[in-house]
Amino acid sequence: MKILVCISKTPDTTAKIAFTDNNTKFAETGVQWIINPYDEWYALVRAIELKEADPSITIHLINVGNADSDPIIRKALALGGDEAIRVNTQPADSYSTAFQIAEFARQEGYDLIFTGKETIDYNGGAVGAMLSEMLDLPYVGLATSFLLNGKTATITREIEGGEETVEVPLPVVVSCQKGVAEARIPNMRGIMAARTKPLKVVEPKQTETQTVFSGFNLPPAKAGVKLVSSENVEELVRLLHEEARVI
């Protein structure tokens, strides 16, 4: 069995966010990059758990990005991927990312494709569904549990107001979130082994982007805190009514 895990490069959650070019591009200078947590903690780790239960499984990692993605790809290999593929182009939007992954995956015949439910920078959550459409495969999103029995997957996913459990034959595309696996950190043996694992760079296929970013805006600054004496009940009521508008 062959599993493909899609991994993205995202800014560390502590990174200071700023924009350039009249607020149309993310300012990357000085930013610390990490593997997108939903890809690493859930999609990749669940694939590793499946391989631990069945050593005949092969795990491939795929990233759409430039050479500066290599360090995070090596970290993913250190966690437990067998080999990695980097499509050598800067991702432009969800469509172009899914297109490049689909073009490669179509040639390889994967039994299972895992993605994170979304990236923590753009929060689009669209790549998994687009992949399934491009590859003509079933898709299950927001998975909180994934069990494999031969060529059938039993998946529990989050829905409005609860959960549902479905059974689906392989191959299938699944987006993963909290609950599907427990996060891990690479050990020294994995880090050393990652240095020699294959990282294949392939050139992108010709496509057109479907989305143009017209601008980004930071959220408004948080308002200051007003302290009201416990003895000044009238002022507290006035603020709650006129400014907070909660009464």
Domains and CATH numbers, the chain: 2-219 (3.40.50.620)
H helix or E strand, kind and range, residue 61? strand 58-65
| pTM exceeds 0.75, yes or no | yes
Per-residue pLDDT band at 71 (split at 50, 70, 90):
very high
> Residue ranges of the alpha helices (H) in the chain?
37, 45-53, 70-79, 94-108, 127-135, 188-194, 233-242
Count other C-beta atoms under 10 Å from residue 148's C-beta: 20
Checking if the pLDDT of 57 tops 90, the result is: yes
pLDDT in tens, 127-186: 999 999 999 999 999 999 999 999 999 999 999 889 999 999 999 999 999 999 988 887
* Look-up of token digits 């107001």: 161
pLDDT of 187 reads 77
Main-chain phi, psi angles of 220, to 5 degrees: -60, 150
3-state SS class at 141: strand
What is the Cα 222 distance to its own chain's centre?
A: 28
In SS3 terms, 82-107 reads as CEEEEEECCCCCHHHHHHHHHHHHHH
Per-residue pLDDT band at 209 (split at 50, 70, 90):
confident
